Amino acid sequence: MRKPSSQHEILLHRHPHNPILTAADWPYPVNTVFNAGATLLPDGTTLLLCRVEDRRGISHLCVARSKNGVDGWQIDPEPTLMPDPVNYPEEIWGIEDPRITYVEELGKYVITYTSYSRGGPGVSLALTEDFRHFERYGVIMPPEDKDAALLPHRIGDFWALIHRPITPLGAHIWISYSPDLRHWGSHKMILEARRGAWWDANKIGLSPPPIETPEGWLVLYHGVKQTPSGAIYRVGLALFDLQTPERCLLRSDSWIFGPEELYERDGDVDDVVFPCGYTIGPDGDTLNLYYGAADTCIALATGSISALLDWLKENGRPSGWENM
């Protein structure tokens, strides 16, 4: 089994209790639990909105709550949000990989998730105040598109969504703007997958929602390397301008987090770490990153936002064609 090299700076530390949630914890029969959105409730409870795959292969979402974000999880006794293909035909093959953004202007959580339609995966949006009642807006980005998250406030007059359409140009990260969260335009590609042997060649996507810092939007993104024994999903860093989030300021050359432990290397899909959510500690700097491991379980890694920024300033460079 490959082990991490001690030569590399470790920016994200795996929790010793990993994996923190597995199918065995679920109050009803499921195949796997992974790729969870995350948020901190006003009373300090960590809420994970977990992707749960049943034994048909179809995913739904289920809430797990914990006081310390590590253990003592209270899991909803039944699925929290099921696909509703009668009213939303795009959800026929399930709903997956939620990202949660709390939007103060609305006093609501905005959930962006993958709806798996007959035409492929698209991006759907739902609002909630309590993670019990949800208002669906339906598809906001048609297939093929996924890995979407909303920025928590308007940029100028417009909401901004980061997402990952697949176009004839490839699987790159885009931004789009909307006056009302329903109608989207001014689409721009903001981060391009590299090519050839790179760890993030040909296919990248946003991981959790961007982290707002005084230096810019810190973006953790996943890169997918195709190998003869399958794909490897790893995570890298980029920084975008606060006022003009389509402007990439820095991008890391190397990944910062990849599959190393057995629960990340071996599962329904081997060699996958896939973060969809985080919480920030009371110090404003500690990042608790929740990630799906091998499409089978949920794990936690902890880091420091300022250390990630420092590392990126030291090791990143402006993103451009010369890096491709």
Of 231 and 324, nearer to ligand BMA (C-beta) is 231
Total interface residues for ligand BMA by CB under 6 A: 9
CB nearer to ligand BMA: pick between 51 and 251: 51
Task: Give the C-alpha separation, 279 to 322, whole Å.
Answer: 35
Cβ 85 vs Cβ 124: under 8 Å: no
Residue 189 binding ligand BMA, by CB under 6 A = no
Q: DSSP letter string over 246-302?
A: TSEEEEESS-SB---SHHHHSSSSSSBEEEEEEEE-TTS-EEEEEEEETTTEEEEEE
Residue range at the interface with ligand BMA (CB under 6 A); choices 19-27, 247-255, 269-277, 307-315 = 269-277
Residue 151 makes CB contacts below 8 A (sequence gap 6+) with 101, 159, 160, 161, 162, 209, 210, 212, 217, 245
Among 208, 210, 245, 292, binds ligand BMA (CB under 6 A): 292
Interface positions, 114-153, toward ligand BMA (CB under 6 A): none
Query: Which one, 12 or 239, has the nearer CB to ligand BMA?
Result: 12
Per-residue x/- mask for ligand BMA, residues 49 to 88, rule CB under 6 A?
----------------------------------------
User: Does residue 97 bind ligand BMA (CB under 6 A)?
Assistant: yes
Q: Does 272 bind ligand BMA (CB under 6 A)?
A: yes
In the complex with ligand BMA, the residue whose CB is nearer, 294 or 305, is 294
Q: How far is the CB of 299 from ligand BMA (least distance, A)?
A: 13
Q: Is 312 helix (H, G, I), strand (E, B) or coil?
A: helix
**193 or 249: whose CB is closer to ligand BMA?**
193
Burial tier of 230 (Cβ tally within 10 Å: 0-12, 13-18, 19+):
exposed
Span from 103-111, 236-244, 266-274, 306-314 in contact with ligand BMA (CB under 6 A): 266-274
Per rule CB under 6 A, is residue 233 in the interface with ligand BMA? Answer: yes
Token representation of residue 160: 């901004």
Q: Stretches 67-75, 179-187, 207-215, 267-275: which one binds ligand BMA (CB under 6 A)?
A: 267-275
Count how many Cα atoms sit within 13 Å of the Cα of residue 127 in the half-sphere of its side chain.
12
For the chain, how big is the Rg over CA atoms in Å? 18
- Match 């979402």 to its residue by tokens: 61
Among 92, 103, 269, 307, binds ligand BMA (CB under 6 A): 269
Name the burial class of residue 307, with classes exposed (0-12), middle (13-18) and buried (19+) by CB atoms within 10 angstroms of its CB: middle
DSSP state letters, 14-44: EPTT-S-B-GGG-SS--SEEEEEEEEE-TTS
Residue among 90, 96, 246, 264 that touches ligand BMA (CB under 6 A): 96
Residues 15-44 that bind ligand BMA (CB under 6 A): 35
Whether the Cβ atoms of residue 160 and residue 151 lie closer than 8 Å to each other = yes
Would you state the structure tokens that stand for residue 67, as one six-digit string? 């006081």
Binding residues for ligand BMA (CB under 6 A): 35, 96-97, 233, 269, 272, 274, 292, 295
